[in-house]
């Protein structure tokens, strides 16, 4: 194989690795939907019919001190609003399989998203309840810059396809939306 071909292949592989690492460190939104009903301080329903369990935190149960305050905080933050979900890539759901486990973000202002899980911890509405999943609560920040999370409809990904010779393709990734919710990105 000519030296220039090997160099180009290695450059493309490094670029793909860099892009993947940059996107992973910025966070990911696997689903976008509106909150239809808050159940308690760490669980709510989406307008898609799915139930969400906030990852790695625990809020007081109904009938215990702090329950209503935690629930009211979540209601004020997200009920009837659009949320951006980073769904656990390890298990996806809780042990019962009924609720998607996620770190949840909502628009704080035009430049930042707020991490609801972290906000509940920081405001003493929740305690840390770290589970075996992809999340590391110690690495959470309260706010994430909107520019750090790539816009779904404008991500350009380089794919390197090796089949005897090489070919570099530009692939546009777009939203897969139906109604008011957007599922995981699809390639077109």
Question: What is the 3 state secondary structure string of 107-150?
Answer: ECCCCEEEEHHHHHHHCCCCEECCCCCCCCHHHCCCEEEHHHCC
In order of 3, 76, 112, the CA distances from 143 in angstroms are: 46, 17, 6
pTM attached to this predicted model: 0.69
CA distance 118 to 44: 16
Query: pLDDT tens, 104-116?
Result: 999 999 999 999 9
On the question of pLDDT at 40 being above 90, the answer is yes
Contact 159, 13 (CB under 8 A): no
Least confident of 15-29, 37-51, 82-96, 152-166: 152-166
**Strand pairing of 99-107 and 51-54?**
parallel
Q: Which residue has the higher pLDDT, 152 or 3?
A: 3
- What value does the mean pLDDT of the chain take? 77
Evaluate whether 86 touches 105 at the Cβ level (below 8 Å).
yes
pLDDT score at 117: 98
Please tell me the predicted confidence (pLDDT) of residue 118: 98
Q: For residue 31, give the nearest of 172, 188, 183 by alpha carbon.
A: 183
pLDDT of 94 strictly over 50: yes
Whole-number percent of the chain with pLDDT over 90 = 60
- What pLDDT shows up at residue 121? 98
State the pLDDT confidence band at 1, using cuts at 50, 70 and 90.
Answer: low
Asked if the model's pLDDT at residue 167 lies above 60, the reply is no
Q: DSSP secondary-structure letter at 93?
A: B
For residues 181 and 139, the model is more confident at 139
* Max intra-chain CA distance, the chain: 72
Task: Give the domains, in start order, of the chain with CATH numbers.
Answer: 11-21+150-187 (no CATH), 31-148 (2.40.50.90)
Which residues, 6+ apart, have CB-to-CB distance to 81 below 8 Å?
34, 35, 106, 107
Instruction: Provide, rounded to the nearest whole percent, the portion of the chain with pLDDT above 70.
Output: 64
Query: How much is the pLDDT for 81?
Result: 98
Query: Is residue 187 pLDDT above 60, yes or no?
Result: no
Which is it for strands 112-115 and 165-178: parallel, antiparallel or unpaired? Answer: unpaired
């Amino acid at each position: 194989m000519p030296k220039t071909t090997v160099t180009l292949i290695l450059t493309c592989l490094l670029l793909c690795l860099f892009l993947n690492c940059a996107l992973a460190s910025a966070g990911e939104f696997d689903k976008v939907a509106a909150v239809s009903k808050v159940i308690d301080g760490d669980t709510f329903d989406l307008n898609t019919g799915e139930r969400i369990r906030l990852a790695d935190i625990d809020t007081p149960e109904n009938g215990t001190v702090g329950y209503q305050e935690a629930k009211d905080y979540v209601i004020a933050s997200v009920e009837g609003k659009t949320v951006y979900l980073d769904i656990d890539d390890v298990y996806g759901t809780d042990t019962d399989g009924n609720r998607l486990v996620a770190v949840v973000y909502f628009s704080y202002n035009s430049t930042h998203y707020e991490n609801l899980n972290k906000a509940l911890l920081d405001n003493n509405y929740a305690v840390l309840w770290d589970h075996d999943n992809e999340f590391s609560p110690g690495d959470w920040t309260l706010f994430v810059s909107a520019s750090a999370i790539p816009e779904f409809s404008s991500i350009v990904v380089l794919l390197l396809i090796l089949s005897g010779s090489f070919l570099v393709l530009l692939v546009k990734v777009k939203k897969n939306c139906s109604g008011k919710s957007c599922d995981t990105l699809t390639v077109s």
